Amino acid sequence: MGLRIVVLTKHVPNIHSNRTFVDGRVARGAADGSLNELDEHPLEEAVRLLERMSDEERAGSEIVALTMGPAEASDALRRAYQLGADVGVHVLDDALAGSDYLGTAAVLAAAVRRVAQDGPVDLVLAGMAALDGLGSVVPALVAAELGWPQLTNAGALAVADGAARVERDVDGVTEVLEADLPVVVSVNDHINRPRFPNFKLIMAARTKEITTWSLAELDVDTSKVGAAGARTQVLSAEPRPERPPVELHVDNGEGGVALADFLASRGLV
Amino acid sequence: MTSTSTALVLVDSLAEPLRDADLELVTIARDLGVVAVVSFDAPAPATLDQLGAYGVARVVELAVDGEPHLTGVAAQALTHVTDGARVLLARATFAHKEVLARLALLSGAGLVIDAAQVREGDGGSVVGAKRVFAGTWDLVCEVRTPLALLTVRPNSVRPSEASDPTTPSVEKVDVPAEEASAAAGGVRLVSRTVHEIDAEAGPALAEAAYVVAGGRGTGGDFAPVRELADALGAAVGSTRDCVDEGWIEHDTQIGQTGVTISPRLYIGAGISGAPHHRGGMQASEVIVAVNSDPECPIFEICDFAVVGDLATVLPQAAAAIRERRG
């Protein structure tokens, strides 16, 4: 029967780099951009789901990595290829710049519907958050746009007999949730340990084709997308002032007292 | 201020008196309209007294014939109270973010996730300020729709009682089973276990004003961390390493994929300061670190640092603090 899985991926500034805003938007240059680290987990989970199947079961299975963003975002898809994606789809359109969570989700859902024209999609997998905005709401919104069940922030996922079951540990609560396929699942970074890509995949990823769709090729309400469609507007984005240099105290037997004195000086004791 | 507009505050439960993190939301909401508190259970008498002291005009119980812990159900239920409201505030939990996102889709509202400040903008709009990129940038977002939905970080204001106490009216809105079931969207809640909160372990991490966190440098012994936390009335936090090693429970993990905190005081002990941890704590007001390695990266973002062995420094600090507090 196989599984067709769409993995949502995002190109974000590397968290080890100096991240900035330009005109109220996250600056995403090619140089220090990368696949959102948390998106490695849904890719790994997709590969594992297929690996657990027999060859016959696996027939017709496919992992489609989907991204939306400017030209550099294709780098995220190259990385997704290294991690085991079969197909990379890039929604690329100048009109998308400045989209809010809702606009982004509407476009991603339209792209999933477009992928489904070539064969039913069983699962949409996503990371629990993108390490730039940290909104963590896009998977839930994509589920709502598609009218599919949402199983988010999963720490464990099982797919069997046409249903998905997740276990999650969120906000001090442990839950088990279940729904029939197709579903949208977001996974956290405890679900698996992504493997290091093998040499063969790294080489193949360089030359693999990427499918590019513009907004015109998707069935989406364009009034929702881009800065014009956004329901919120960034009025300003400013770097915070640097902290004054650290007051460094080397412990010679009274470090704890020095710490308490410092806290008292700040009115914290 | 448009005095006739409603400022809604979503709280998890009205069965117990509200905690500071919820009262902070009520305090913010008072500047934005007539405050109505919404929850999925009935208010206890003591809670009503407290809400009156904080100036809440209305309390709405959404009585859902179904499972309000499911995101779709909670979002649908909230559509019953958003008509005519100007703003809805909720604490910045993962569950609330998703509920508000889906409510935004249902109601046409604009959404700001994890605001550190909320205020009225020009022309009566609602404006939320956020700290992003591990607290290194300030972003100010204006909501352009008539209804604004915001999740708000704890410790963004100090909760304060109203100058004019109220006697809140209480209403109950029934959400029928068919509606709740449709809103579940095919999701089945198989089981739900709320982790027991150990009252002796101090305040909840996400909303604590003071946090003491331990990292790999503890070697698995959190006793000095707990001792200092206890002296300060602080919550205990940890790093991903410690959780993976099984030294401490997952709920304590601070970081981009764990709990994001913004307390008045953060003390990190035996923590080197990897980017993922920093992403979860760098917005703290005052940052202190204790580490035996003078080169550790967390020292770069500290206000005060002690180079030393946490096993001796923390208990000594705890004793000195207890002495000062008498």
Residue A116 lies in a domain: yes
Q: Do B193 and A174 touch (CB under 8 A)?
A: yes
**B86 and B12 inside one domain:** yes
Residue B314 lies in a domain: yes
Residue B158 lies in a domain: yes
Residue A114 lies in a domain: yes
Distance in angstroms between the alpha carbons of the first and the last residue of chain B: 45
* Dihedral angle sign, alpha carbons of residues B32, B33, B36, B39: negative
**B252 and B290 inside one domain:** yes
**B176 and B211 inside one domain:** no
Q: Which domain holds residue B275?
A: 199-324
Residue A237 lies in a domain: no
Report whether pLDDT(B265) > 50. Answer: yes
Task: Give per-residue pLDDT as tens, B156-210.
Answer: 899 999 999 999 999 999 999 999 999 999 999 999 999 887 666 677 898 899 9
Which of the residues B245, B296, B304, B324 would you substitute to probe the A interface, choosing the one with the greatest number of A C-beta atoms within 10 Å?
B304
Residue A208 pLDDT: 95
Residue A13 lies in a domain: yes
* Alpha-carbon separation of residue B255 from A1, B214, B320 (angstroms): 40, 13, 29
Q: What is the pTM of this model?
A: 0.93
**B133 and B22 inside one domain:** yes
Q: Which residues 11-30 of chain A have a CB within 8 Å of chain B?
A: 15-16, 19-21, 24
**Strand ranges of the sheet holding B126-132, from the earlier edge strand across to the other edge:** A232-239, B137-143, B126-132, B117-120
- In angstroms, the separation between the Cα of residue B71 and the nearest Cα of chain A is 8
- Alpha-carbon distance of B124 to B32, in angstroms, equals 9
CATH code assigned at B144: 3.40.50.620
Q: Do A171 and B294 touch (CB under 8 A)?
A: no
Triad A245, B307, B312: Cα angle to 5°: 140
Residue B193 lies in a domain: no
* Dihedral angle sign, alpha carbons of residues A197, A2, A147, A157: negative
Residue B113 lies in a domain: yes
**Residue with the two structure tokens 């405050």:** B35
Residue B167 lies in a domain: yes
Residue B189 lies in a domain: no
Identify residue B60 by its one-letter amino acid code: V
Q: Which residues 90-149 of chain A have a CB within 8 Å of chain B?
A: 100-102, 128-129, 131-137, 140-141, 143-145, 147-149
Residue B186 pLDDT: 97
Residue A268 lies in a domain: no
Partners of A178 on chain B (C-beta within 8 Å) are 187-188, 190
Residue B284 lies in a domain: yes
**B179 and B218 inside one domain:** no
Please report which helix (H) or strand (E) contains residue B54, including its range: none
Q: Do A173 and B193 touch (CB under 8 A)?
A: yes
Decide which of B184, B211, B240 is a domain's last residue: B184
**B118 and B223 inside one domain:** no
**B205 and B261 inside one domain:** yes
Residue A240 lies in a domain: no
* Domain count within chain A: 1
* Alpha-carbon separation of residue A14 from A137, A157, B55 (angstroms): 21, 28, 45
Residue B200 pLDDT: 60
Distance in angstroms between the alpha carbons of the first and the last residue of chain A: 64
CATH code assigned at A130: 3.40.50.620
Residue A97 lies in a domain: yes
Residue A93 lies in a domain: yes
- In angstroms, the separation between the Cα of residue B281 and the nearest Cα of chain A is 14
**Residues B294-310: what's their mean pLDDT?**
95
**Residues B256-274: what's their mean pLDDT?**
92
**B170 and B209 inside one domain:** no
**B176 and B214 inside one domain:** no
Triad B114, B119, B124: Cα angle to 5°: 125
Q: For A20, what's the count of Cα atoms within 13 Å in the CB-facing half-sphere?
A: 6
Residue by residue, pLDDT tens for chain A (269 residues) are 799 999 999 998 877 777 888 877 877 665 677 899 899 999 999 999 999 999 888 999 999 999 999 999 999 999 999 999 999 999 999 999 999 999 999 999 999 999 999 999 999 999 998 888 788 999 999 999 999 999 999 999 999 999 999 999 988 899 999 999 999 999 999 899 999 998 999 999 999 999 999 999 999 999 999 999 999 999 999 998 888 889 999 999 999 999 999 999 999 99
Report whether pLDDT(B2) > 50. Answer: no
Those residues whose C-beta lies under 8 Å from the C-beta of residue B180, and which sit 6 or more positions away, are B64, B65, B66, B67, B68, B73, B76, B77
**B20 and B144 inside one domain:** yes
Closest CA to A153 of B93, B66, B76, B214: B93
Residue A30 pLDDT: 59
Task: Give per-residue pLDDT as tens, B17-65.
Answer: 999 999 999 999 999 999 999 999 999 999 999 999 999 999 999 999 9
- Concatenating the DSSP letter of every residue in A129-166 gives --TTT----HHHHHHHHHT--EEEEESEEEEETTEEEE
Q: Which domain holds residue A34?
A: 4-229
CATH code assigned at B279: 3.40.50.1220
Q: What is the dihedral of CA A68, A73, A77, A83, to 10 degrees?
A: -110
Report which DSSP code applies to B33. S
Residue B141 lies in a domain: yes
Please report which helix (H) or strand (E) contains residue A174, including its range: strand A173-180
**Residues B82-99: what's their mean pLDDT?**
96
* Alpha-carbon separation of residue A209 from A69, A197, A206, B180, B244 (angstroms): 17, 18, 9, 45, 38
Those residues whose C-beta lies under 8 Å from the C-beta of residue A222, and which sit 6 or more positions away, are A95, A215, A229
* Domain count within chain B: 2
**B268 and B304 inside one domain:** yes
Identify residue A99 by its one-letter amino acid code: S
**Residues B222-244: what's their mean pLDDT?**
95
Q: Do B114 and A148 touch (CB under 8 A)?
A: no
- Give the mean pLDDT of chain B: 93
Residue A29 pLDDT: 66
| Integer-rounded Cα radius of gyration of chain A | 21
Q: Which spans in chain A are helix H? A: 40-51, 55-58, 74-82, 101-116, 138-146, 199-207, 226-229, 255-265
**Residues B90-107: what's their mean pLDDT?**
96
Number of H helices, E strands in chain B: 9, 16
**B271 and B166 inside one domain:** no
* One-letter-per-residue 3-state SS of B300-318: HHCCEEEECCHHHHHHHHH
